[in-house]
Amino acid sequence: MKFTPVNMALLSLAESIFTFYIFPHVFAAGTLSSFFFIFSLFNLVIFLMYQIIVYPFFVSPLRHLPQAKGFLPIIGHARMLFQRPNGEPHLKMMKGAPNNGIILTRGFFHSDRLILTTPAALADVLVHKSYDFEKPPWVRAFLKRFLGEGLLVAEGVKHQQHRKRIMPAFHFRHIKELYPVFWSKSIEFCNAVKMSLDQDASKVLEIGHFSTQVTLDIIGLAGLGRDIGSLRNSSDELIKNYEEILEPTREKALFFILHLIIPPWLISILPWKLNERVRETTGNLKRICKEFVAEKKLKMKNEIPERQESRDILSIMIRSNDFSDENLVDQLLTFLAAGHETTSSALTWASYLLSTHPDVQARLRLEIHESLPDPKVLSNPGFDVAGLLERMPYLNGVCNEVLRLFPTIPVSSRISIRDTTVAGHFVPKGTTLLVVPWAINRNPALWGADSEDFVPERWIDKDKGQATMNGGADSNFAFLTFLHGPRSCIGERFARAELRALLAAFVGSFEMQMADPEEKIVVGGSLTSKPIGGMKLKLTPVVWAT
C-alpha cells in the first residue's frame, strides 16, 4: 500500500466512523470479538478500494500517461501473459497508442505497468539510470529455482563485481581465438545431421534437438574447458534435463505465470507433478555442475601455476578466488543455460526463416560457397576463420535479421527501487516497467513499414557492400535482443560469432524446407522464444561448391 496523505486521511476517516458511530453499537450488543472482525474487514475494504480505484485512477502520478486500449477491470492486461507470441500484445499497443516514450497499462488489481517504447526511455532504464531498476523479486525468485544466485539473478554491487570478474572470458580477442572451436563443432553438427538423415528415409529432422546439442557442446568448451560430447551421445543427461526444462508447454507457461501472482513457497507445496519434475531436473543439473567444478578444480590443482593459461569461464572464476564452490555452481548453471539457449533458439528460427524464404537461402548459400573453401580445409591451422566469417555481408545480414525478429528473451521487466524519472516522467518507487525486445525490434516507428518482414538487406550498406550494425534504424536502442548497458548480455559477441559459424556450415551443407509447408509455427516458451512442437525440416545435403 502506498502511504500518501490521501491514503492516511481515508484511514483516519474510517477510524473516526468506527469510533463515533459503530463502536458504541457494537459494545451495546456485547460482541467485542465481532467488533474487531468487522473493524478489520472494513479496513480491508478501505485498503482495497484505495488500492484498486482511488490510487490508480485519482492519485497515481502516472495516471495521465497515454494508456493502452482494451483495459479489463481488476485483472487489467493480465491476459497478455497468456497470449503468444509473448510480446505481440505489447507491439499492438505500441502501434495503437500514440505516446512519447511510455504507455501506461494496468496489471492485476490495477497496478501500474509502464511499457517503454522509444530509444530515449529505454536508454534511461537500461543505461543512464540502470541502477534505479532491478529485476522484480518474483522474477528473481523464479529464476533462482533454476539458476541459483548466478550473474543473471544478482543485482547491485554483487552483480557489478561478478560481471567484472567474468568479463575477460568474453573479450573480443578471446572470442576470435574461439572461432576454430565454433567451426569444428559446426562441422561436427553437420556430420551428426547427415548421419541421422542416412538413417531416416523421410529426410525429416527436428532441428531444435541438434541445435541444443551443438550449442551445449560449444559452451562446454568455452565455459568449462571440456568437450561435453552431446553430439556424439544423443541421450546425454545434460541435454535431456535442459530440453525438459525449456520445452515450451502450456503447463510450463502457467507455472511461470503463477509465480507472478502467488508466492513461490506456496506453489512449491502444491500437489502438482510439475513441481516434482522441476525439483528433479534442477537437482540433476546442479549435481552435474558440482561434478564439473570438482573435476576442474582438481585438474587446475595438479597443473603447474605458470602454465595455467586456460581462458574458459570456469577457470577464470576459480583463479579469481572470488567465488565459493556453491556460487561457482550457480554461475555455471547460468552460463550453461543462457550460453546455449540464445544461439540454439536463433539457429532454430534461422532455419525456419530460410526455409520459408528460399530466395534468401539460395543467395546466402551462394555467398558461403564463394567465400569459404571446403569446410575440411577451413578447419586446418592457418586459416583466418574469424576474418572470413565476419567479412561476409549477407551472412551477417541474415544473422542480424534473425536475432531482430526472434529475440531469445521476448519480454523483460524491471522494477524501480527508488523514485526516479524516465524520459522526463516521474516514476515512483515500486513501479514495474516492461522492456519488450519482441515489440521494439518489430516496431514500425523504429524500423519502417517492413518492420515485421525478413529483410537481411537492411543490414548491408549498399554503397560499401559491407554489413552494418544498425540495420537502417536511427538508434542502437531499436535493437534489444541483447539489451544494452550494465545488464546487457555479457555473451553477445560469443553468441554472434557462434551463430555465424553454425549458420554458414549448416546452410553451406544442406538445402532446407519445412517438412509440412502448411504447418503454422506457434511461438511458445515461458522465458525464451521456442517453437511449440519443435521445428521439423526436410533436409537435402548439397555439394560444397569450391
Q: Is the peptide bond before 5 cis (omega within 30 degrees of 0)?
A: no
Q: Are 355 and 361 in contact (CB under 8 A)?
A: yes
For residue 51 the three cell numbers come to 488500492
The secondary structure of residue 18, as a DSSP letter, is I
- Residue 115 phi, psi (nearest 5): -95, 125
Pairing, β 432-435 against β 112-116: parallel
The secondary structure of residue 541, as a DSSP letter, is E
Pairing, β 523-524 against β 460-461: unpaired
Beta bridge partners of 514: 537
Question: Measuring CA to CA, which residue among 403, 384, 406, 405 is closest to residue 491?
Answer: 403
Q: Are 482 and 491 in contact (CB under 8 A)?
A: no
- 200 class by beta-carbon count within 10 Å (0-12 exposed, 13-18 middle, 19+ buried): exposed
Q: Is 399 annotated as a binding residue?
A: no
Q: Are 470 and 152 in contact (CB under 8 A)?
A: no
In three-state form (DSSP H/G/I as H, E/B as E, the rest C), the secondary structure along 49-72 is: HHHHHHHHHHHCCCCCCCECCCCC
Question: Measuring CA to CA, which residue among 360, 263, 351, 366 is closest to residue 537?
Answer: 351
Cα 84 from chain centroid?
15
- Residue 509 phi, psi (nearest 5): -105, -20
Q: Are 529 and 345 in contact (CB under 8 A)?
A: yes
Contacts of residue 72, Cβ cutoff 8 Å, sequence gap at least 6: 78, 79
Question: Measuring CA to CA, which residue among 186, 153, 480 is closest to residue 333?
Answer: 153
Interior/surface letters 399-427, b for 16+ CB within 10 angstroms, e for the rest: bbbbbbbbbbbbbbbbbbeeebebbebeb
Interior/surface letters 25-50, b for 16+ CB within 10 angstroms, e for the rest: ebeeeeeeeebeeebeeeeeebeeeb
Please report, in range form, the residues annotated as the binding site.
489
Binding site for heme: residue ranges?
489
